[in-house]
Amino acid sequence: MNVVYFKVDHPPHERPNSIHYYLKSVQLLRDNAVVADFGDLKITNLPAWFYTVIPTGFSKIEFSMKNRSQLRIECQAGYLRTGEYIVLTPGGEITLPFNALTGLWTLNKQQQVHIDHQEFMARNYSLIRPAKILTRGVSVF
């Protein structure tokens, strides 16, 4: 299984501000075949992240939607990258490292406890967003 994301964000030169927008019939595609269907998405804050699990594959992930934004927003889709992510657990939010090469989540760095994404879902964990969002070097003031 692979974890893929769909991200909606403002362009690097734009000021971040709150928006209220619906994206209609958002689908993720791989080799022109639908691999995930998010349906209609309500976007209220940027950046907005949406995650899902798809069968293993290595082709590029693309997206399609029925409407195009009247606002200046950018959309991206792709595979989950190596890094730290904010994860919602039954006990609250935690930060977990993910290794894209092995597909494993690290629960405990000292004891080297790792789980795969199937165990991740079995524990009722869900991804919220990356722990670090790279700044673009653009002033918002």
Task: Name which of 123, 133, 134 is nearest 107 in CA terms.
Answer: 123
Residues 38 and 99 in one domain: no
Percent of the chain at pLDDT above 70? 89
Residue 141 has pLDDT above 60, yes or no: no
Task: Please say if the pLDDT value at position 139 is more than 50.
Answer: no
Check if the beta carbon of residue 62 is closer than 8 Å to that of residue 9: no
Helix (H) and strand (E) counts for the chain? 1, 11
Domain boundary among 36, 57, 80: 80
Asked if residue 67 and residue 2 are part of one domain, the reply reads: yes
How far apart CA 141 and CA 137 sit, in angstroms, is 12
- pLDDT for residue 80: 92
* Whether residue 58 is found in the same domain as residue 86: no
- Does position 100 have pLDDT exceeding 80, yes or no? yes
* CB hemisphere CA count around 90 (13 angstroms): 5
Please, is 78 exposed, middle or buried when counting C-beta atoms within 10 Å of its C-beta (0-12, 13-18, 19+)? middle
In this structure, are 58 and 120 located in the same domain?
A: no
Q: State the pTM of this model.
A: 0.81
**Residues 45, 62: one domain?**
yes
The percentage of residues in the chain with a pLDDT greater than 90, rounded to a whole number, is 48
pLDDT at 111 over 80: no
Q: Are residues 69 and 98 in the same domain?
A: no
Both 66 and 3 in a single domain?
yes
Question: What is the pLDDT, as a whole number, of residue 136?
Answer: 47
Last residue of a domain, one of 55, 80, 105: 80
pLDDT in tens, 23-74: 899 999 999 999 999 999 998 888 889 999 888 888 899 999 888 766 678 8
* pLDDT score for 132: 80
Residues 48 and 27 in one domain: yes
Q: Pairing mode, if any, of strands 104-108 and 92-99?
A: antiparallel
Are residue 73 and residue 138 in the same domain, yes or no? no
Q: How many domains is the chain built from? A: 2
pLDDT higher for 68 or 10?
10
Q: Are residues 107 and 45 in the same domain?
A: no
Q: Which residues form the domain of 36?
A: 1-80
Cis peptide before 47 (omega within 30 of 0): yes
Residue whose pair of structure tokens reads 């989950």 in the numeric block: 80
